Amino acid sequence: NAGVTQTPKFRVLKTGQSMTLLCAQDMNHEYMYWYRQDPGMGLRLIHYSVGEGTTAKGEVPDGYNVSRLKKQNFLLGLESAAPSQTSVYFCASSYGTGGEYFGPGTRLLVL
């Protein structure tokens, strides 16, 4: 199993550009999550999904949108990137209880 994979690994955007981060998991997990991690801070939940076709807001959802059209994929979109969205983004998945399995992260730099 590949576990949780994320693409791209690294991206540079200009302010106002848009992009989509892709997360895929092959563990048949119902729950998927998007976090951001900033220097000196723990992970903060952006959005999450409890199943195919569902999404919900987390702690810091502003400026992001998500979609879960397929159970194995969870997409994170930035419609108009801002420098404050420079961060490392982690996707995770789980059965709903117990630990979450994290992807390797996507480093995003917004100039």
Partner 1 sequence: GENVGLHLPTLSVQEGDNSIINCAYSNSASDYFIWYKQESGKGPQFIIDIRSNMDKRQGQRVTVLLNKTVKHLSLQIAATQPGDSAVYFCALCWVQGAQKLVFGQGTRLTINP
Chain residues in the site for partner 1 (CB under 8 A): 4, 31, 40-45, 48, 50, 56, 58, 90, 92, 94, 96-105
- 69 versus 98: smaller Cβ distance to partner 1: 98
- 12 versus 50: smaller Cβ distance to partner 1: 50
- 15 versus 54: smaller Cβ distance to partner 1: 54
Distance CA 98, CA 87 (A): 26
- 44 versus 65: smaller Cβ distance to partner 1: 44
**How far apart are CB 13 and partner 1 at their closest, in Å?**
21
Distance CA 18, CA 81 (A): 6
Residues 6+ apart with CB under 8 A from 14: 81, 110, 111
**How far apart are CB 56 and partner 1 at their closest, in Å?**
7
Distance CA 76, CA 66 (A): 5
| Count, residues in the chain | 111
Radius of gyration over alpha carbons of the chain, in Å? 13
**How far apart are CB 34 and partner 1 at their closest, in Å?**
12
